[in-house]
């Protein structure tokens, strides 16, 4: 066993009555890659925020190289050698890579920073163009900027919060190579992820949290992903059950939908054709940034199509109608970005139930436009119960929920409207294995009631688990949706990477 870098003894942190971290003790050795696992709301982010100086423990001790240490703020963490790559990137689109790096490191002198960044990106195989605008970068490239920024501080402990949830398989491999190099140099990595196969491949130890407590420490390679998942939730996770029927009439028909991106940062969509019938789940696979966001905005009415007939919902052209009008016709939408877009962080859950439902036929708008708060509270309570959202109640603000629990709430709110059409973007992003299985089952069950369900996802395993037909979006073009039973992962992977038959597949098909 290597020398101890950091030791935590009996750390506790409460939010009101909730013990988010309850008497946590663990040690991290030098040059170790340690996974921090746990279901949504288990307390992983709370723990690393205390290590990063963003939160203060109520009680307990942190030892850094065997010496008791306080970490009052992130600057103190950086001074010790603790650095973090966050789940949500904190880069400014309008600035260059170099400017973003300098902005994120107020305590590092600017002189020579660009040269140092270039040197690090070469050493760690993280190619970057310092003069490029961040807005023009793919998600994987943005993450590289964050990692180089983190490495510029010459950290001894690197904390990574769900780093692979939006990466292509090639980018994941590259990230793993970088992390192994850090380990070889004697640095320690704490790795938070819900992707258990990746944890098995990369991490030599896993600490499993449940309800704020450490329930187990194990070698992930010696366990199956299913065993790790059941240790996280404290029981077995049910398989998703499907019994595909014969689909009915088309609920959503998209014909010749085109969209010219107004900015150089967006993707232009060309001639999209798509049909989703009653009772079926159709999946759209693709690497982030290939037009999914633009297509979702057009389907939901956030962006209007150029012709009404380009989007037909239940037999009526809706391409020129806004989001409320489409919701009134029985459609429901779950956007990818749950905070800000899917939910208002400062509102409580009851008010967040109002946000998407206030004009719905059985919704929360009363006569003369008055809002029915009692109804909203009941609806929020129903959603919390149905989706097993871990929260003190309907009065909790959306911003206080852990990422995965907020996702469960947003999906549950849309399901509660019993839509005829549900369009959902990345349904299980950041959601733990147990909750992901629940969400997928809920989508299948919704289709079972005769609704049409369209799922946009980067996760091929997810699409194979739930979709009857799968289409691939790449460079703003959509392939025809084919029955999932006749497709292979390899064939879809190649289409996702923009391959044309006979040509070598490009590494990333980021389109502008």
Ligand X SMILES: Nc1ncnc2c1ncn2[C@@H]1O[C@H](COP(=O)(O)OP(=O)(O)OP(=O)(O)O)[C@@H](O)[C@H]1O
* Interface positions with ligand X (CB under 6 A): 15, 18, 20, 38, 40-46, 390, 400-405
CB of 46 to ligand X, least distance (A): 3
Nearer to ligand X, 18 or 274 (CB): 18
CB of 75 to ligand X, least distance (A): 21
CA distance 117 to 190: 23
Q: How far is the CB of 300 from ligand X (least distance, A)?
A: 25
Nearer to ligand X, 28 or 209 (CB): 209
DSSP class of residue 47 equals: H
CB of 339 to ligand X, least distance (A): 12
Name the one residue in this structure whose structure tokens are 């070598």: 504
Closest to ligand X by CB, 209 or 272: 209
Asked if residue 27 lies in contact with residue 9, where contact means CB atoms within 8 angstroms, the answer is: no
Whole-number minimum distance, CB 292 to ligand X, in Å? 23
Nearest to 459 by CA among 113, 269, 197, 88: 197
d(CA 112, CA 338): 39
| Closest distance of CB 48 from ligand X, Å | 8
Residue with Cβ nearer ligand X (154 or 217): 217
Structural Rg of the chain based on CA atoms: 23
3-state secondary structure of 218: strand
CB atoms within 10 A of CB 59: 10
Q: How far is the CB of 333 from ligand X (least distance, A)?
A: 22
Give least dist CB 406 to ligand X, A.
8
Q: Residues in the chain, how many?
A: 512
Cβ-proximal residues to 172 (8 Å cutoff; 6+ apart), any chain: 164, 198
In angstroms, the CA 395 to CA 117 distance is 46
Helical (H) or strand (E) element with 357:
helix 349-357
Q: Tell me whether residue 291 or residue 403 sits nearer to ligand X (CB atom).
A: 403
Give strand pairing partners of 477.
Answer: 474
What minimum distance in Å lies between the beta carbon of 138 and ligand X? 24
Shortest separation between residue 288's beta carbon and ligand X, angstroms: 19
- Calpha distance 478→470 (Å, rounded): 10
Q: Which is nearer to ligand X, 245 or 340 (CB)?
A: 340
- Element at 299 (helix H, strand E): helix 292-300
Looking at the Cβ atoms of 207 and 509, the one nearer to ligand X is 207
Phi/psi for 442 (5° steps) reads -65, -35
Distance CA 45, CA 160 (A): 10
| CB closer to ligand X out of 100 and 428 | 428
- What is the distance between the alpha carbons of residues 232 and 335, in angstroms, rounded to a whole number? 27
Tell me which residue has tokens 């309570």.
Answer: 381
Q: Which is nearer to ligand X, 284 or 411 (CB)?
A: 411
Torsion angle of alpha carbons 107, 112, 116, 117, nearest 10°?
70
Nearer to ligand X, 174 or 194 (CB): 194
């Amino acid at each position: 066993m290597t020398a101890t870098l950091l030791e935590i003894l009996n750390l506790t942190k409460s939010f009101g009555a909730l013990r988010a971290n309850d008497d946590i003790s663990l040690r991290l050795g030098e040059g170790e890659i340690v996974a921090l696992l746990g279901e949504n709301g288990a307390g992983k982010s709370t723990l690393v925020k205390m290590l990063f100086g963003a939160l203060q423990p109520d009680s307990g001790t942190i030892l850094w190289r065997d010496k008791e240490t306080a970490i009052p703020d992130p600057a103190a963490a950086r001074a010790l050698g603790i650095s973090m790559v966050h789940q949500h990137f904190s880069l400014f689109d309008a600035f260059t890579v170099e400017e973003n790096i300098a902005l994120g490191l107020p305590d590092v002198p600017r002189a020579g920073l660009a040269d140092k960044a270039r040197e690090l990106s070469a050493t760690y195989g993280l190619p970057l163009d310092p003069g490029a605008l961040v807005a023009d970068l793919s998600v994987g490239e943005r993450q590289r900027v964050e990692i180089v920024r983190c490495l510029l501080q010459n950290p001894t402990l690197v904390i990574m919060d769900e780093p692979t949830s939006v990466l292509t398989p090639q980018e994941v491999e590259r990230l793993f190579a970088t992390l192994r190099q850090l380990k070889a140099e004697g640095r320690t990595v704490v790795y938070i992820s819900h992707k258990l196969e990746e944890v098995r491949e990369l991490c030599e130890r896993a600490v499993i949290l449940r309800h704020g407590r450490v329930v187990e420490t194990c070698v992930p390679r010696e366990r199956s992903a299913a065993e790790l998942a059941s240790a996280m939730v404290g029981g077995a996770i049910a398989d998703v059950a499907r019994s595909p029927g014969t689909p009915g009439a088309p609920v959503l028909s998209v014909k010749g939908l085109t969209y010219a991106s107004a900015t150089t940062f967006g993707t232009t969509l060309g001639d999209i054709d798509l049909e989703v019938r009653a009772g079926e789940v159709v999946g759209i696979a693709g690497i982030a940034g290939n037009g999914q966001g633009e297509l979702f905005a057009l389907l939901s009415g956030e962006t209007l199509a150029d012709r009404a007939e380009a989007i037909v919902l239940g037999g009526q052209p809706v391409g020129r109608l806004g989001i409320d009008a489409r919701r009134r016709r029985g459609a429901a939408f779950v956007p990818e970005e749950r905070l800000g877009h899917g939910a208002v962080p400062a509102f409580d859950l009851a008010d967040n139930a109002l946000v998407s439902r206030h004009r719905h036929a059985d919704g929360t708008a009363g006569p003369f436009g008055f809002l029915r708060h009692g109804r909203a509270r009941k609806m929020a309570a129903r959603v919390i119960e149905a989706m097993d959202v871990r929260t003190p109640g309907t009065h909790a603000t959306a911003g206080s929920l852990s990422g995965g629990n907020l996702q469960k709430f947003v999906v549950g709110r849309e399901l509660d409207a019993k839509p005829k059409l549900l369009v959902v973007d990345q349904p299980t992003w950041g959601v733990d294995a147990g909750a992901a299985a629940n969400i997928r089952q809920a989508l299948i069950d919704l289709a079972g009631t005769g609704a049409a369900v369209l799922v946009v996802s980067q996760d091929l395993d997810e699409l194979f688990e739930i979709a009857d037909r799968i289409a691939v979006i790449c460079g703003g073009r959509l392939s025809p949706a084919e029955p999932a039973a006749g497709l292979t992962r390899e064939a879809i992977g190649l289409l996702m990477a923009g391959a044309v038959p006979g040509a070598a597949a490009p590494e990333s098909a980021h389109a502008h």
